[in-house]
Homo-oligomer: A and B are copies of this chain.
Amino acid sequence: MPAAGQPLRSWVSAANGKDCDFPIQNLPYGVFSMAGESPRCGVAIGDMIVDLATCETRGLLDAGGTFARPQLNDFIALGRDKWDEIRDRLTGLLAEGGDDSLPLVAMADATLHLPIRVTEFTDFYASKNHAFNVGVLFRGPENALPAQWTHMPIGYNGRASSVVVSGTEIRRPMGQVKGEAGPEWTACRRLDLELELGAIVGADSRMGERVSVEEAEQMIFGYVLLNDWSARDIQAWEYQPLGPFQSKALGTTISPWIVTQAALEPFRCKGAARVNPLLPYLQESRPGFYDMTIGWTMNGQAMGRTNYNVMYYSSAQQLAHHTESGCPMRVGDLLGSGTISGPGPEQTGALLEMTQGGRDAVRVNGEDRTFIEDGDEVGLYAFAEGGGYRVGFGPCHGRILPANE
């Protein structure tokens, strides 16, 4: 956690508010557009966006013209030294006494877009509480935690084409489920969220070569909030033996702002205690998690809330494992952490767990919910706090539309 005392302040006054997600210590990257204009890259500060493309045109920053593009991939591909240089430069420009002629736009007037072209999407399963809770519901307590779970980060390839930015409406899926008398074709009856953090891969690796946990950490550009919408009834019928497929392809919502690894660095901390030693290729030389509150809301009501430090495998461990076979990774790959759940029901990141598989309804604004109903809106949030400021992700939300039957 950062040292106490007076934190650095910005001449953008809203950035200095105690509960502001976007102080000068954060500087998350996104892609925005103004009415009638093309999408381009920006950085959030307080209630404003720094127009990085215009900064580059004016010679204030140098990113090889990449900030004028409609996704951050090309900027990210410039590498860690460039990420550090731009962060240092923006910190100087935005600090009190910096350059108050910087081109800013009001975030309220901007449209926020998907910040990256998602090259591929991999989803992991790295909260032991979640793995156990869901395992009990799908397979019973004796088979809940798979045998290899404490030895490796279990993951599966998700569908990149269905990753959308916060605010995109999500259509309730149709699908095949197990009915009393055989398979049925139906609108999903058990629609759920999954509260996750997504890591953005910022460097390529080569086919046939592995990366270590330390190298993997250097390859991560930053993080987004990630809601892996899940159709539990479709999942239960389809997922054996090859894993979830259409149950996870209805949409995955990510936050528009990528919080960089650099911004989270002061909040670095340990994760969950190890049940057994890991094989050397998964061991990390320093803690790989962040002391960060993460939670979700439904129709504006606070629901599950926990801390990212409950996780068992870090993004760097997941990325290292992803390359063990020689699988090449690419800039723009998105790695979902897996649902983040603490031990108690009020700390869970999915309705499946919170309601014990739909058995115990929860109250949401005076109504019962076991799963998500049409018109419901789910929001995610996360922030790390300390040293007199907060590094937050801003909103990440989506509303469910009725199925096209």
Contact = CB atoms under 8 A, between A and B. Distances in A.
Interface of A: 119-120, 125, 135, 138-139, 146-148, 151-152, 154-162, 164, 171, 173-176, 178, 182-183, 185, 207-210, 231, 234, 237-247, 249-251, 279-281, 321-322, 324-330, 333, 401, 404
Contact of A176 (B146, B151, B178, B207): B151
Contacts of A161: 119-120, 207, 327-330, 333
15 contacts: A147-B178, A148-B176, A148-B178, A154-B241, A156-B157, A156-B242, A157-B159, A157-B245, A173-B326, A176-B279, A176-B324, A185-B279, A239-B242, A240-B241, A249-B322
Contacts of A171: 207-208, 326
A162 B210 contact: no
Contact of A325 (B138, B147, B164, B231): B231
A158 B157 contact: yes
Q: Which 5 A-B pairs have the closest CB atoms?
A: A243-B243, A249-B327, A171-B208, A157-B157, A173-B325
B325 A246 contact: yes
A interface majority secondary structure: loop
Contact of A174 (B147, B156, B210, B329): B210
A154 to B, nearest CB: 6
Nearest to A168: B207
Nearest to A208: B171
Count of this chain's copies in the oligomeric assembly: 2
A148 to B, nearest CB: 6
A28 to B, nearest CB: 25
A239 B241 contact: yes
B164 A208 contact: no
Contacts of A247: 325
Contacts of A162: 207, 326-328
A164 B152 CA distance: 27
Contact of A242 (B154, B160, B234, B333): B154
Contacts of A210: 174, 404
Nearest to A188: B325
Given A246-B324, A324-B174, A148 B183 contact: yes
